[in-house]
Structures are given as structure tokens and as C-alpha cells.
Structure 1
């Protein structure tokens, strides 16, 4: 028997094991957060202008919406959600939009959007929700500190991210559901700030979301970190007009995920070509020795290089 069929079976067996683990491992509270009631938001979309006055008015309106959702969660008895929302409603926080229904959607700005000449939009991966939103916010703050002014970082939790270790995490369904919303947001942001250099920074499953939205998107760079694959075979298949960069830290477990797509009735499991491989064709940047959650950790090689890309500079590349 030739090595190729044997290797194919091994890779498929590995993917099958991953699927089994995803289905078998219980996810605490996976179904609960979407059931927490929240009022209809009073504002939606982006403001008509990126002036200080318009943004201040929007931030105040969303702060009030978040406060109302916190009170609703408290009445419902969900103390974890109520606590998270009260923190988000703190003075000084800058949310462009918030909707507490259906599990929650948020878009927050770190930095001054009115003066920003460079903007990074963070798209998170699996396991990120309103209840533990502080992790995404901390990453946005770390990137903004690295970038310096005049920049802004937008934390976009505009979709129902799959739970960690779930079957949804290894299919494109949630990404396909999320992509139209990401496209609408980036298009609106471009109309609001047409002269700004905007980049998408997409982590893990978020890279699948970004890939689904990438075609013709008005961004300068698409940065994939800790990506399991994009669901596409090559960079060309994305039809993105942007530079496409990919980085993976040496301690990231995602490297062990099989890079193939297994087509089953009604669903495709896996995301195909490894984004840091020559076959995919992305520019590869050095991401250091961190873990899957360390790409935007202060002081990391990955953070420094992501900031360079967002600022329109060439990052450090891996040593041959």
C-alpha cells in the first residue's frame, strides 16, 4: 500500500477524533446566555459622522442601553451577565453599538475614532461572549497601546461565536452567518472614515469569519492569527484586495488540527489549507513562542508584528 492512502486515512481519523471530542466534551452554560432577556437597543448601526460630538452622543446612548440590559439580566437572576454588563457600562467606555438580545452583540472602540488615521478591527474566535467580554477588551487595549496615536482599535463581537470544544467550532456555519454583518460594519466604517487605513485582525475561528467576508472588503490588511484554516484553498480564493498576513506561535495547539475539509451530508468539517503554509500563499509574520491565546499579549513578538502591519510597516518574518 502506498504511503499516500495511509496518510489520508490517518488525517481523516485525526479529524474524526476532533469531531468526537467536540461533541462529547460538555460545554458549561453553552445554551444559557442566549436566553437572558434584554431590551431592544435604542440605537443601531454607526453614527452619521465621526465627529467628537456625534461619537460622544452615541457612546452615551449605548452606555444607557448596556445599563438597561444589566438591570434586565439582574431581574432574570443571571448575576454573571449583570456583572459583565455593569463593567461594560462604566464611564469612559466607548461602544458604537450594543444589543443584549440573543446572547449579545457589541462593538467597542479603544482610542479616539474621530482622529484615528489607522484602525484595527478585532474579530474574535470561539468561546468569546458578553459574559467574558473583558478578554477581548483587554486585547484591544493592548494593541492600542502598541500602536500609539492617532489610531483606534475596534473590538467587534458582532456574531454568535461558537462555544469552545463544540461541533460548531469546526464547521463554517457560524462564519457564514456572521460574514454579512462584518461586511456591513466594515463598509459603514469605511464610509465614516474613508481616509483611514483599516485592517482586520482575526483570531482563530474569527479568521474563518474574516475569510467569508473578505471579497472586495475596503481594508488594507487582513491578519490571520492562530487560524485553523479559512475554508479556502489559497489566498486567491478569498478575492481580497488587501494584503493577507498569517502568523502562528510555536506554542499554539492549533498547529495540530488537521488541515483538510471533510465533506459530509449537510455539513463540511474542517477548514482546509494551513494559512501559514506556502500552498496557501499568505505573507507569514513571526509570531514568537506564545500559546493560542497570546497573540495580543503585551510584550509579545506577535503583538509587535501585528501592530507593524496595522501601521502599514513590514513585520519581522520567521527565520528560514
Structure 2
């Protein structure tokens, strides 16, 4: 591991100023992803700026009935918060589906959104990777890609984003607040992650040197009737091979509102807007749910060894929407 400096900060302005003065620095929250990448040589910061003592560790209700979640709130505290559990149960379920209890005690909301892909080629500095070394190639296209993208990928990168939390936040139209040298700003999560295109090394729309300060969830009555389902290759402590955050409002047998987002199928949490359009105003039955899945997955471009994800995601859409329509508890 490269030798690095360490500085602890206690206010946002200082954190941003320190990073502005040292462009090879990185913000350190829980370190559950960054430190691993430093050990493998993928990340080689000259300075770590510890932001855990910033006053960003609260969850508060907003005036419109939503929630404001500070960037240094731990995953464990987020999942356990009574208002998160009541208003956005899929978010609690998504967080609890990720990692282990020990890691959730350390990992932060801001860090979760910025975690890097777990693609094996990205993590191995002896291999080419366009995300790590632009222009070097994407060996996953012809190599090991059984858990890679089927939506929104390109020939330059087929890696997937690993966040469970991000999937639920995407379904409920969360927005990311940040502070930069030019002042504060906000990005809808739908615009936070950049499309892969031919620049997979550019992952977010955050300005250079920006610090995430929080996430805001707008009021969403439909979110109180939501679920998160994660499919993985072993029972626990594994990244998804496919996941879904779903919310459904059914009245008189008709879908009045629906929210869907997919995980482990694209370079970012994938909002299933085509599926939502099919659902709203249609009968809440298996035929509609299957049609919604087909509409979203029509754009899928699976690789030779990950076509199973199309079937997997279709079945997840139908099963989770059916459970919500029938009021099945988890």
C-alpha cells in the first residue's frame, strides 16, 4: 500500500478546502470500500480526509413529509430508524440485505453511493480495465461476465454497480446534496450516475472535489407499501446477481402508482420507468405485471453468459408485484 497522510476534519468547509488543496486526496467515511481498494492498489490517495466527525449524522423529517439523511449516517442506523422503517420499508430491507452487521456499523450513506464496482478485472491491477485505466480495454466482454450488465452497458464497460441502498433510493426519487469549492448543490439520483458510454471512468456527475452531505427522500405515500428483494449466489454476505425495489398502490383492483428499480443489471441503479408506465392505470394482475417486466427488459442486451438475468429480473418483477398486490408480508 502506498504511504499516505491522514487528516481528521470537523466541519464541511474545511473538508472541501483540504481536498481542493490536495487533488490526490480522498474523503474517508467508514472505509469499507476505499481501504480495500487501497490494499489492492486500485486507489492510491496521497491523503485521507476523515469526515466521520462532520455534523452529518442525523435523519430528519422534511416539511413535505419526506426524510433528510445525513451523509455520515451509518447503514445500521439508517436501517433501524423508525421513520425509515415506517415510510420506506424497502430501503430498510435493502440496507439489511447488504454486507454484514459489522460492515453496516461502519459504512456510511455517502460512501455507499460512491462505492466502486466489484468487477474482478477492475479490482486486479494486472488486468486491463477501462474504468480503472481509460483506453486499456474491457476484458469482461469476452471473459468472465456472468454477473455483469444487461442494461445500459457499452463495449467499453459491462460492470454493474453493487449498491443495494442505491436501488431503493432510486425507486423513491432521492436527491443527493453536496458541497464543493463553488458552493452547495443537489443532484437527483436519476442524474447522479453517468451513463457508461465510452467514458466508464467517469462515474458520477458530482463536481470535482465535491463532498456528499446528505440524501433527501421526497414524500411518497406509495413507498409505505414497498419491498426489496435480493437474489445472490449464497445466502448472505454476497453481492446481488439481481435485485428489485418495488412499491405499489392498488385501489379497486387497479394500479394507481408504482415504483420499480433494479440492481445488479447496469452500471447504476436502474429505474424501470418503462415498466412503471405499463403498470399505472392497468389491472393489478399477473398479466399486467408480466407485461411491465417485458416492457423494461425489451432493452436488455445480455452477454453470452449472463442471459439468465433477463429471466431472473422478469420473475422478480412478477413475484414482488404480486406479493405487494396481495398484501403479503415479509
Normalised-by-shorter TM-score class: under 0.3
TM-score by length of 1: 0.27
Ranked by relative contact order (alpha carbons within 8 Å, sequence separation 6 or more), the top structure is 2
Q: Which has the higher helix share?
A: 1
TM-score by length of 2: 0.26
